Structure 1
Amino acid sequence: MHILIQLSFFVFGFSCVLTNETQFFNYITIKIYRGDVPITLLRQETVNTEPEVTEVIIENEPIRVLKTGTFRNLAKLKYIRIRSSALERLESFAFQNVTRLRTIDLSFNRIKEVPINVFANLTVSKLVLKGNGIDTISISAFYNLTYLRTLDLSSNNIMEMPMLMFDLTRNLRILDLSFNRLNQYPSFAKRTPYSYFEEPFYNINEFEPSTIDLSFNNFSYITSYMFRGLSCIGELKLNNNNVRKIDERAFEDLRCLKSLDLEGNDLQEISDRLLKVFAMAETLNLANNPWTNTFACKYEL
């Protein structure tokens, strides 16, 4: 009798483990593609039973947590879009062993934090986290994303980027951080000078289109090291910030800069040294700044 009770408990326990490991969604509607064939799955708990799936699309369905192993071992999966689904939390290894994955779009959810080991080491070329309200990004959150070309973090609540945020990620071409709360003040000089953008754009060349969009943030001061090492960046957007001061050395490394937008800031004057650097850009927008009369007359602004 004692043995039978133990066996029964073991079987029950095993059943519970299976249920927990296979239920990733709460009976939601999921659109998938098997190659070019669209299929709508109703009242689904998982997509891991679809080994031929190439795309997963979930919109306006309640998903509070993206659990570890949600897309485990889906060898043909290339595209994931989970939008407007009230997603709040990302667990580590949610995209475990999805070796052909190229695009992840988690925009317009409620994600507040990007923790480590969610996106690390993935094969994605495009990652969209727009419109979530993200305010915390962990160190190495985007670790070793060798193929990443586009990262969209726009329309969040990011105030500061951690050092080593892009550790071993060196092939970025487009980084969108617009409509956040980023700021960089002279007091930051007390910290170790660090160029947040040098590593992610490390392997760029002057013939490839590239963009860093920092528009609509709260920058008031552009430091000498902020864009250090970005010799081949093509487009830089700093419009609609609160920029009052730019260090004379801030843009010295930007020898391939084609477009610079500083519209809508609080600039009153710019040194001749900076203007010489600006002159190398094919397109320069300095409109809607409160220039002093002397400066405006001198340069016909």
Structure 2
Amino acid sequence: MSKILSFLSVIYILAVSSDATTFEKNGITYHMKYDMSGYYSLSTHGMHVLTPGLIADIENIEWMEIDQQNLTDVEPGTFRNLPKLRRLKITANNIPHIKTGIFNSLSNLTNLELYVNSVYQIDPNAFDNMTTLKYIGLSFNQLESVDPHWFLQTPSLEFIDLRYNRLTKLPASSFGNIKSPGPFILWFDGNYITRIDKDAFSGMKTISTLSLDGNKLKTMTGDFLLGREIDWLSFRANKIECIDQRHFATVFVANYTKIWSNSWHMECFKKIKTWAKENHKNVLYDPY
């Protein structure tokens, strides 16, 4: 019997060692991915709610993926003492509400990916004190608005992905509380945006990419771009028929602007091409 116990002890030690390919803790199985030490995907074995302290006290984990596990809730305090965790991916579940206290203690997290989770509500302080966070992915959810408090305490943020939600407008000061110096990448593709208020991006001076493809914009004045330094601007596949020539200088401020697949009136389209050539602006008319 003592030999059997010794053997099982060795197996357990191997299972939880820093270079283990698989180990279990609190009913969850951790599988190493791509033979990369520190990168694990998690199997919850039918557990639909992650409870406080369930994923805790693991020193070697750097990337964590919880994908397609039919989760319906993650409770505040689920993640504790994960000092090396830099990337957390919780995707393709059914989590409607992101609550304060779920991620706030992850002090070294740089990437947070929450795609395809049916999220329609995020608490105002859900991302507070995430001082190293650079990228947040919220695409393919059900969000109808942006809360300006979300990014109040994310001073390193550079990339926000809000594609394919249910946004209909970007009100004034939507991103007015941003403290990060940027430059920023902002993706809003595939929403239902018809209006962008003048001060929507008031907290952002430098934007490397602003993508508004596949929305419902019918025209633009460029007011929301005033005072911004922009490298790439894209508003392909909207409903724009024309832009008043008085606004060309405020709309086409980026180094490169993509405008194809709208409903352009031919005469207006010709005026844009002529103006862009005369003013040495890179306005891209087609994908070729």
| Shorter-chain TM-score above 0.5 | yes
Asked whether the 8 Å contact 2:39–2:62 carries over to 1, the reply is yes
Q: Is 1:38 matched with 2:59? A: no
Which residue of the partner structure matches residue 128 of structure 1?
Answer: 113
Q: Is 1:203 matched with 2:185? A: no
Instruction: Compute the displacement of 1:44 (Å).
Output: 5.9
Distance 1:272 1:121, change over 3 A: farther
Instruction: Compute the displacement of 1:246 (Å).
Output: 3.0
Instruction: Compute the displacement of 1:60 (Å).
Output: 7.8
Instruction: Compute the displacement of 1:292 (Å).
Output: 2.9
How many aligned positions are there? 253
Which ranges in structure 1 are unaligned for 5 or more consecutive residues? Answer: 1-31
Instruction: Compute the displacement of 1:200 (Å).
Output: 4.1
For 2:16 and 2:246, the matched residues in 1 are separated by 56
Residue 254 of structure 1, aligned match among 217, 228, 234: 228
Secondary structure of the 1:295 match is helix
Which residue of the partner structure matches residue 4 of structure 2?
Answer: none
Residue 241 of structure 2, aligned match among 268, 281, 284: 268
Q: Is 1:219 matched with 2:193? A: yes
Identity %: 21
Asked whether the 8 Å contact 2:144–2:166 carries over to 1, the reply is yes
Moved over 6 A (4+): none
What RMSD over aligned residues (CA atoms) do the two structures have, in Å? 2.6
Distance 1:62 1:232, change over 3 A: same
Which residue of the partner structure matches residue 47 of structure 2?
Answer: 63
For 1:283 and 1:63, the matched residues in 2 are separated by 48
Asked whether the 8 Å contact 1:141–1:166 carries over to 2, the reply is no
Q: Is 1:285 matched with 2:258? A: yes
Instruction: Compute the displacement of 1:219 (Å).
Output: 0.2
Asked whether the 8 Å contact 1:215–1:238 carries over to 2, the reply is yes
Which residue of the partner structure matches residue 146 of structure 1?
Answer: 131
Secondary structure of the 2:233 match is strand
For 1:59 and 1:46, the matched residues in 2 are separated by 6
Instruction: Compute the displacement of 1:180 (Å).
Output: 0.8
Residue 294 of structure 1, aligned match among 263, 267, 273: 267
Which is richer in strand? Answer: 2
One-letter amino acid of the structure 2 residue matched with residue 116 of structure 1:
T
Which ranges in structure 2 are unaligned for 5 or more consecutive residues? Answer: 1-14, 31-36, 274-284
Q: Deviations over 1:81-102 (max 9, x none)?
A: 1100001101001112322221
Q: Is 1:96 matched with 2:80? A: yes
For 2:19 and 2:50, the matched residues in 1 are separated by 26
